[in-house]
Structure formats: C-alpha cells, structure tokens
Structure 1
Amino acid sequence: MHVPATLVRGGTSKCWLFPQVHMPTDRDRIERILVDAYGGADPVQLDGIGGATPTTSKAAVVGASACEGVDIDYLFAQVGIGTGTVEWGSNCGNCATAIALYAVAEGLVPLKKDRTSVVMRNINTGAVLEAEVDTPGGRVQEFGDRTVPGTLAGGVPVGLTFRHPAGAATGLLLPTGLPVQELTVGEQLLHVSMVDAGAPVVLVDALGADRTGAETLEQMRAEVPWLRAGRHAAAIRMGLVQPGAEPGDAVPKAGLVGPPVAYTTTLGESVAAHEYDVSVRMLSMHSPHPAIGLTSAVAVAAANLIDATVVARASTAPGSHVLRIGTPAGVLAVESSGATAAGPERVTVARAARILCQARILVRDLALPAAA
C-alpha cells in the first residue's frame, strides 16, 4: 500500500512531509511506517527514501492545529540510519521552514498579499514558531533566489521566528543554573555551557579543549566520539535522561565554540575573522553538521546574551542581539529580541525553502488509515 508525501528542502535539510490525515495517530505505528519507508535499518538507506545522512533522514507528520492561534501542528522525526529506530525528542528549524512553505502551497493557511504568516507548533517539544513566507501578489512561488549558507541553490524566502524558545525541554534557559561549568569526559576536563533554547545544547569551550572551534568537517569527524560522550554526560546533568538510561543522539545537541578566525567554507569561499562573531561546529546525531541546525543556532544566540557562557567569552559581540555565527558552510546571522532573564522572547533567522516533489511512498501493510 502507499502513503502520500511531499519532499521539501528547508534551508540545508530535506524533509519528507506526511499529511496527518493519511497517517496513524499512534507514534509506534508512525515509527514503523517511517523506518520501512526510509529503509531505516539499512546504514545506506538504499532500499528507501532516506538520504543516509542526518540532514536528509528527516520527516514530519503535518496537519491543521486545533490550538487557538496556531495554524499547523507537526510531529518531527529524525529517522535513524542503520538503527531501525526514530528519535522523537527534538525539533528541527530547517524542517519547520519546509513545513511553512508546504502549508502555504497546500492551502492550509489563507494566502496574504506579499507575505503569508504561518504559526506552527512542534508537538515533540511544544515549541511555537512563526514563519513569514514570501507570496508576492498573493501567489505561491515554486522557485526563489534566496540562498543560505551551505547550498548554492536558491529557494523561496522564509523568515523563521522561534517564540519564547527558552526552556522548552527542561523548563529553564540554564538547566543546571550555571552559565559555565566543568564536565569530565574520559580523561578530559571540559568547560561547557548547557543551554536550553530552541533545543537543549552542550557547548564546549574549544580553546580549553585544545581545539579552535573552526575545525573542518574532516577534522570534526575525529572529534565525534568524545563529543558524543560529552553529550551523554550532559544529558544526565540537564535532566534529559536518568543515570543508567540508554543515551540518545538527538538531544542535547553538542558542539565546539571558539573565537572567530579566517577559514574556508565547504563551498570554497574565504571568510575573514572580522566577518563574523563566533565560531561554532556542531554534531548532527553521530556526524559533524555540515552547517548548523537552526535550533542549535537559537541556543548559541541565547547563550551570547548571558555573561560568562562559553559563547559570550569567545564572541567578539557578547550581549549583541545580532550574532553572526561562523559555520563550516558560511556565516549565519541570528537576531534576538525582547531579552529577559528567562531568555529572549523571539529569535529570527532568514531561510529559504523549495518543494521538490510529491510522491506516493510504498510501504508494507502496517494498518494505515483508510484514507491512505
């Protein structure tokens, strides 16, 4: 049997979006369908629609929201690669960008002249996001020319705002109450900031760990094992998992933070140190992120507003409401507003999206709703 789905590029990720009306409501059944459709038990996902990388093995179940003031509810899924499982504990800003364009194209929100607003709720975390999709003259665009760091391809402009992003997972911007603390990983003593904004993250002081924070993707591959160990240790400190529980790789996000230095992007572009404020290299699940996840960028921007965090210490613009983050793919600007002790009220990033195809995904008979 089959289930309809739409493939959309949002920022630097690709997400298959599944209409809620054609999917079961039980999360276990959804997981079985996604693992089957993606070939999720296969490390190369050859017999499925997955791309065998963390940024191309994503999905969301999307539907109209019954919540007042919210247009769209979505359940985000990070489909495992070779694991036969799905991580449900996080959000994805790039997929939210894709969902915003999808909602406009599918008529799930009324079109407005020039720009159409889409308010979305991430079911996984309860986070509420607002997107402004370019709809010139009240028309849906199939193509656009806005680019983002990490790809030369243009897309439809989408402004994505995270509303009150702090504490969605743990209840606090600083889950441990400290802006910086020591974390022992193996024989290493790390100085880290644990922040919950957009997503829970553990950010490591790169210089203190004898790194730069501006490593190439190839160099970052060698850092994956100890950064994953740091993630697992931080998850316990942040209250995300109980001691002795099986750790996951979705949260907290983990990465290195350092001062700006000159470097060359993955697309071969030269970036001078004065062109950005702080270097960041993140993991995506068990691999180096080719750019930076938007939820991680939100957390970095929030940390930059807090005295003494590893971000504020490394940044050339600590406390600034506009932070330019140097990533492997280039420089990403993040704007915060309405800063309070509990965290910023809004964090906004300029993105782009494009609908790539509509398909009927063949899956095994897993008791889909009759509408499928």
Structure 2
Amino acid sequence: MTQTAIPFLFMRGGTSRGPYFNRADLPEDRETLAEVLSSAVGAGNPRNIDGLGGGNAVTTKVAMLSVSEDPDADIDYFFAQVAVEDRLVDFAPTCGNILVGVGPAAIEMGLVPATGDVTRIRIRAVNTGALVEAEVQTPGGHVAYDGDTAIDGVPGTAAPVPLNFMEVVGSRTGKLFPTGQPTDVIDGIEVSCVDVAMPMMMARASDLGITGYESQTELDENTALFARIEALRLEAGKRMGFGDVTKSVVPKVGLIAPPAQGGNMAARYFMPWTAHPTLAVTGSQCLAACALAPGTVAKGVAEVPETSPAVFRIEHPMGLMDVRVQFQNGDNGFAFVSAGVTRTARLLARGEVMVPRHIWAG
C-alpha cells in the first residue's frame, strides 16, 4: 500500500472550512505533522489540486481535537493554518471560524457526549490558551445542523452555535496593547497594535490610500497595498515582541473605515497575505476592542456604544458581523471584559484522507 489513510470530518465552521482530525490519528512531531497536513490540503499549488484545500486561506485550515486534561476544558482544539501556494504550516495562531465546528465535531467523533437539547462544550485553544464555551444544538442526542440562523458570507440558514470567549485580552502577549501604548507611528502611518483573541495591527484605510469599502477581489489585486501593509506588519511584529514574522501569519492586519451600511465600523481583514472574504471571528473581537478602547486609530472612525453590554456591528465585504461585547470605561480606565459571537457550522463529509506513505507511514 503506497498511501496512509487518516480518518477525518470535513466541516464548514463559520465562513471557513477544512478537515477536522482526532489528534491521536496524526503524527506527534511537528515536522512530520506539517508535512502530513500540507499533503492532505494540497499545499504548494494555487488550486490545491492534489488535496482538500480550496485555493484560499479560508479553505486551507485544519482542526485537531483531543479530550482535554485541563480541568476547565472538555476539548483541546489545536489549529493549523496551511499555506496555499507554499508547503508551509503555521501553528502559532488560532481560528475562530474553524472553532465554530469544534463542538459539533467533538460530538461526532465521540470525544464528548451530547447532553440534552443543547450541549455546552468548554474548548481550550491549544495555540493561544484561550477558553471558549460553545453551545451546540443536540436534540435527541444528535448534532442538529438545520436551523434559522443566517451569517453573511454563507448561503442559507443553519443551527446557531453561540461562542462565548473568556479571558481574551492578551491572548499571546498578556497585554491589551503589546507595545505599551494605544497608537504607534510606523513609517509615518498611525497604527494600533492590539492583542484581544488575535494579535493585530490596525490602521485607517484612508491612510493607506483606500476607502475601506473595497471587495476582496479589488484588495487582492492591489499588490502595492500588500507591499505597504507587509512592511508595516513586519515592524509591528517586532514591536509587539514576536520578532521576525516574515513566515508567520501573526499579527493579522485590519484596515478600518467609518460605517457605511448601518454598522459601528467598516473593516477589511488581511490573513495577512490575502484579504479575508468576510471577517475572522477572533479578528472581529480584536477590531471591536480597538474601536472601544480610547486613544486608538479608531477614534473618530467608529461609532462606539456608550453602555455595556452591547452589540458591536462590523461591516465586511459580504455583510456584517455582530460581536457581543462587555467592557468597562470608568475612573479605573478602560477594560475589555468579554466577547461573544453566534455563528453556524455544517458537517460536509466524513471518511479518510490519503497521504503518500513516504511522508508518513501511520
């Protein structure tokens, strides 16, 4: 036999999709694991023609699940961002959209039991240490995918999967503002480096010569914009304490603009070498925190709710995303307390993905 068969679920989580594996079915060492995931996805080709990927960074994501040994969690969620055109795998970030499918996948894999009509699953994001509670619809002891919840960027409706994120501030750096201040100037451009759920560098879209209302296609075709963003991001990565981020997707990038469709703010999210077709779940929380915190580049751009809790609506290329936020802004200063979103997921396929035996013999 020239190939190794690995069981997997193929799921859409939010506006992303990819294979979900039981961590025990994969190699332990990172180098071999990276090769296996690259092969499974078909990394190294713009169409991912020899694997499961879809030729876009939102369709080359991987989730690996295991029963958690953390007393505060039920499931460990280990995420991998596989590159599209290069055989590279980044284990540093997490993904909130793929996380939407973790609860349903854990039940489908038999890692956790369904308990009643709604099963609450505590998930630990291995990459960042974040804790998230997912609420999965499980009437009759089975995951329900049909429902009336719609999210922009996904056709039709499905069952809701509320996610409640805990301890999101300082996900990688331990600080809301990793550089020590809400605004920095890099090469003449004001940026805010914020670490909430996902470390990000944010700037005003107008300062980089765009409106902030462009489509994904228009952004991806703007090579000069990406060159400018990357130069700023590399310096921001150093200032945030990440060192050389040339081959890392962290920090991500957000360009913001005043709302134009009834939201609180418009944003274009970069992953970072392509534009996101909608908006990342983790990135949405960081963008909301940036807008709410005083002294950031969002001052004068975002329409900020005065009371907490609130729903902060972010406009993206395919619609809006609502972020439930709790914050404090009083005599003791600003504090971002918690965030939550409601997304949907769907099981698309199940089976075995094949990888060449010379990569891993199993």
- Asked if these proteins are the same fold (TM beyond 0.5), I'd say yes
Unpaired segments of 5 or more residues in structure 1?
262-271
Residues 36, 137 of structure 1: alpha-carbon distance in 2 compared, 3 angstrom cutoff: closer
Partner of 1:107: 110
Q: 1:233 aligns with which of 222, 229, 235?
A: 235
Cα shift at 1:90: 0.3
CA–CA distance in structure 1, aligned partners of residues 145 and 292 of structure 2: 37
Q: Which amino acid is the alignment partner of residue 161 of structure 2?
A: V
Cα shift at 1:367: 4.0
The question of whether the paired residues in 1 share the 8 Å contact of 2:191 and 2:297 is answered with yes
Cα shift at 1:94: 0.6
Cα shift at 1:304: 2.2
Q: Which amino acid is the alignment partner of residue 304 of structure 1?
A: A
1:296 aligns with 2:295: no
Q: Which amino acid is the alignment partner of residue 322 of structure 2?
A: A
Cα shift at 1:254: 0.5
Partner of 2:85: 82
1:325 aligns with 2:324: no
Cα shift at 1:154: 2.3
Residues 180, 338 of structure 1: alpha-carbon distance in 2 compared, 3 angstrom cutoff: closer
TM-score (norm 2): 0.91
The question of whether the paired residues in 1 share the 8 Å contact of 2:92 and 2:248 is answered with no
Q: Which amino acid is the alignment partner of residue 298 of structure 1?
A: Q
Q: Tell me the percent identity.
A: 33
CA–CA distance in structure 2, aligned partners of residues 344 and 110 of structure 1: 33
Q: Which amino acid is the alignment partner of residue 247 of structure 2?
A: G
Partner of 1:208: 207
1:168-317 alignment to 2 at 5 Å? Answer: 168-184=171-187, 189-221=188-220, 222=222, 223-241=225-243, 245=244, 247-261=246-260, 272=261, 275-317=262-304
Partner of 2:58: 55
Cα shift at 1:136: 3.2
> What are the superposed Cα offsets for residues 186-221 of structure 1, whole Å, 9 maximum, x if unpaired?
xxx211111000110001112333432222223322
Q: Which amino acid is the alignment partner of residue 225 of structure 1?
A: A
How many positions carry a matched residue from both structures? 350
Give the secondary structure class of the aligned counterpart of 2:32: helix
> What are the superposed Cα offsets for residues 6-35 of structure 1, whole Å, 9 maximum, x if unpaired?
111011000211111211222212101011
CA–CA distance in structure 1, aligned partners of residues 342 and 227 of structure 2: 32
Give the secondary structure class of the aligned counterpart of 1:196: strand
- Comparing 287-296 with 149-158, greater Cα deviation is found at 149-158
Q: 1:363 aligns with which of 342, 345, 355?
A: 355
Q: CA RMSD in A?
A: 1.8
TM-score (norm 1): 0.89
CA–CA distance in structure 1, aligned partners of residues 145 and 212 of structure 2: 37
1:160 aligns with 2:163: yes
- Comparing 63-72 with 112-121, greater Cα deviation is found at 112-121
Cα shift at 1:318: 5.1
Cα shift at 1:252: 0.6
